[in-house]
């Protein structure tokens, strides 16, 4: 067992430990106004739900967790930076409701975010979905059939986007990126993705900087 903590006046909490100990420390930190949480567990586990209503949290980084169906409403009014690495959601809708609970979010990074279903928000929920402060997003890991359904509409408001996708992208429709000025587009094969590249560019009316590259796996 390894347990590592780093905090200053309980403004920061970093943990690498079994989930039962993680949950106890997270609950302890949340009760005392933690601002920074960075969590990783070796075996995929349920996310400690106290995190979801931590009003003081500014930075949240979680790795290798499961969001179970019916998890409590997310209320993270102070969160500005969110990193999701290897996180499973039951549906698109659950992911988007999670994000919607972060009203002042500025920076979003996702890597290998999984969805069991592509059921999305209702029309009424879409009308109320807004992340006006989100300016930077890094959407990484959409490279196989289980990760091809990332809802790009979530990041339609950003000005800077890094997007990594696979050859057979089957994701949500491509929204118009009204504010996007910088795009870093990474794919498995540019030769096989030109149609998608062109389609994305058609939806970026203010684009100023474009970088195209291929990932090697």
Determine the Cα–Cα distance for residues 168 and 131; give it in Å rounded to an integer. Answer: 28
173 inside domain: yes
Cα 162 versus chain centre, distance: 13
216 inside domain: yes
pLDDT score recorded for residue 184: 96
Mind listing the pLDDT tens digit for each residue in 67-91? Answer: 988 889 999 999 999 999 999 998 8
**DSSP category for residue 13:** E
Confidence of residue 12 (pLDDT cuts 50, 70, 90): low
* 9-13, 55-59, 98-102: range with lowest mean pLDDT: 9-13
168 inside domain: yes
| Bigger pLDDT: 126 vs 66 | 66
**DSSP category for residue 194:** H
Q: Range of 176's domain?
A: 135-217
| Bigger pLDDT: 38 vs 116 | 38
Determine the Cα–Cα distance for residues 120 and 175; give it in Å rounded to an integer. Answer: 15
209 inside domain: yes
Per DSSP, the residues of 37-56 read EEEEEEEEEEPPGGGGG-TT
163 inside domain: yes
Determine the Cα–Cα distance for residues 14 and 17; give it in Å rounded to an integer. Answer: 10
pLDDT score recorded for residue 14: 57
197 inside domain: yes
**Tally of domains in the chain:** 1
% the chain with pLDDT above 90: 44
193 inside domain: yes
pLDDT score recorded for residue 215: 74
Determine the Cα–Cα distance for residues 83 and 111; give it in Å rounded to an integer. Answer: 8
| Bigger pLDDT: 108 vs 97 | 108
Mind listing the pLDDT tens digit for each residue in 146-182? Answer: 445 678 888 999 999 999 876 555 555 788 999 999 9
146 inside domain: yes
């Amino acid at each position: 067992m390894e347990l590592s903590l780093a905090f200053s006046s309980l403004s920061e909490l970093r943990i690498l430990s079994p989930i039962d100990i993680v949950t106890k420390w997270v609950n302890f930190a949340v009760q005392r106004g933690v601002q920074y949480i960075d969590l990783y567990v070796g075996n995929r586990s349920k996310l400690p739900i106290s995190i979801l209503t931590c009003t003081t949290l500014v930075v949240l980084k979680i790795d290798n967790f499961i969001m179970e169906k019916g998890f409590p409403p997310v209320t993270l009014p102070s969160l500005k930076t969110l990193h999701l690495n290897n996180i499973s959601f039951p549906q698109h809708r659950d992911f988007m409701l999670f994000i919607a609970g972060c009203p002042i979010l500025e920076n979003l990074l996702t890597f290998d975010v999984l969805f069991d279903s592509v059921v999305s928000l209702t029309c009424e929920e879409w009308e109320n979905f807004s992340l006006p402060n989100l300016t930077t997003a890094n959407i990484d890991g959409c490279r196989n059939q289980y990760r091809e359904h990332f809802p790009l509409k979530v990041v339609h408001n950003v000005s800077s986007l890094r997007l990594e996708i696979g050859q057979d992208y089957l994701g949500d429709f491509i929204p118009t990126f009204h504010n996007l000025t910088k795009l870093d587009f990474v794919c498995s094969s540019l030769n096989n993705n030109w149609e998608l590249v062109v389609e994305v560019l058609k939806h970026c009316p203010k684009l100023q900087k474009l970088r195209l590259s291929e990932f090697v796996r």
